[in-house]
Amino acid sequence: MSVLQGEQSPTQVFLSYAHDDDNVLSFVKKFADDLTYYSYADRGRNIKVFWDYEIEWGEDWRDKIYENVRGASAFVPLVTIRYLDRPMCREELVLFVDSAEKLGVVDLFLPVVVLGQGLIRDDSDNAATRHVATRQYINLREAVLAGTDSATWRRQLVALANKLVNAIERAEEHLANNAERLADIAPASDLELPEDRPDDAPSLQDHYQAAVRDVEEFGPILSSFAEVLNDFKEHETRLTRDIAGKPSSVAQARLITFAKEFGPKAHEAEELGRTLEEKVASADQNLRAVSKLLAQYGTRELRNAFSEEVESTVEFMQSIEQADSAAEHALDQFKSIEVLNVPVRRALRPLRNGLRSASSAMRTMLTWRDLGHFPE
């Protein structure tokens, strides 16, 4: 049972949501206020809910996620399908879960499903969706629809406040009891390399080599993804030529053939996009860690080597972006066809999913270029 917190510093809770959802449902501020109230009124736990932290953190938000997980800060995403389609929401959710898993405090991830529960599945192409599906999330649908002044709303917020406090207490106990062991896997912003480090502690070279291995994994994935996208563009060009001016029956038959031929490739793109999104989220922490270690302790030679590795990866990724843009353009041309042709629509859905995952990963990768810039 929690003891009353008095004037102690509040535990931070980060609320993640899509602004479009709040524009329609108008519930986020009330959610934050009520969660704060019930956490203290029912459990004596003082919390502070941040729900515009992207503005406060600015471009450094990726670096700060790990730091806040180590402080037992909780992450509460208000999930709808619109939320899961928003790249920034997906990014921060995946990065938080990755950080929490590394530290053994995944309980601090407390998803709240507002709408779209039927599409929250653990076999989804969307990494963020899978993370939500595998947790015992709270379903807030009926409470939101009943209104923020309803008894249903109050019961749900009390239940969530209790779940939140329990998670924070478990995380605090784990982090306190395992502080020395967890220090070895902390990011570079919290690592130091003093002379009296234990002999078996990871060296700067160890961290650097791990980061380089992460980077090297992306080449084959990006190449395969680009091949699928280029293949789709060729199919689209050939198909457009073949059906131009043809009778409807001929065009429909050609479209069905296209759907059968390209379907397996579309599923390959979906899997590649999913893999890329997951690996980028994991590598992001390591690369930021090494960048900070190199800035403080690295030799010029090691810094230059790291910069070249990162720059090479980003440049290669940008070349893939051209294929990505061409595929997006081709898909736009298909929209009118998809409306009237179910086989084509079903065949292209995995490709769209793969492009969405890859785009999210590429957004993160673009930020890596700054990691290779070190002060003289």
- Comparing C-alpha atoms, which of 2, 12, 1, 6 is closest to residue 47? 12
List, in order, residues 6 or more apart from 28 with CB less than 8 Å away.
Answer: 15, 17, 22, 51, 78
Same domain, 87 and 215: no
pLDDT digits (tens, 9 = 90+) for 127-173: 889 899 998 899 999 999 999 999 999 999 999 999 999 999 998 88
List, in order, residues 6 or more apart from 223 with CB less than 8 Å away.
Answer: none
How far does Cα 247 stand from its chain's mean position? Answer: 46
Same domain, 247 and 148: no
Same domain, 212 and 90: no
Same domain, 148 and 277: no
What is the reported pTM? Answer: 0.66
Same domain, 177 and 227: no
Reported confidence tier of residue 191, pLDDT bands at 50, 70, 90: very low
Q: Residue 84 maps to which CATH number?
A: 3.40.50.360
pLDDT digits (tens, 9 = 90+) for 103-112: 888 889 999 9
Residue 157 and residue 32: Cα distance in Å, rounded? 10
- The angle that helices 300-340 and 342-366 make with each other, rounded to 10 degrees, is 160
Say yes or no to pLDDT of 188 above 80.
no
Residue 355 and residue 20: Cα distance in Å, rounded? 22
122 contacts 130 by C-beta, under 8 angstroms: yes
Cα-only R_g, the chain: 24
72 within a domain of the structure (yes/no)? yes
237 within a domain of the structure (yes/no)? yes
Picking from 111-125, 259-273, 280-294, 338-352, which range would have the lowest pLDDT averaged per residue? 280-294
Task: Name the domain boundary from 118, 153, 186.
Answer: 186
Same domain, 324 and 266: yes
192 within a domain of the structure (yes/no)? no
pLDDT digits (tens, 9 = 90+) for 6-42: 456 788 898 989 999 999 999 999 999 999 999 999 9
Same domain, 291 and 362: yes
Same domain, 27 and 109: yes
Same domain, 170 and 208: no
2 within a domain of the structure (yes/no)? no
199 within a domain of the structure (yes/no)? no
Query: What's the domain count of the chain?
Result: 2
Same domain, 145 and 265: no
Same domain, 157 and 44: yes
119 within a domain of the structure (yes/no)? yes
Same domain, 110 and 47: yes
Residue 303 and residue 372: Cα distance in Å, rounded? 7
What 3-state class would DSSP assign to 27? coil
Domain range enclosing 172:
11-186
287 within a domain of the structure (yes/no)? yes
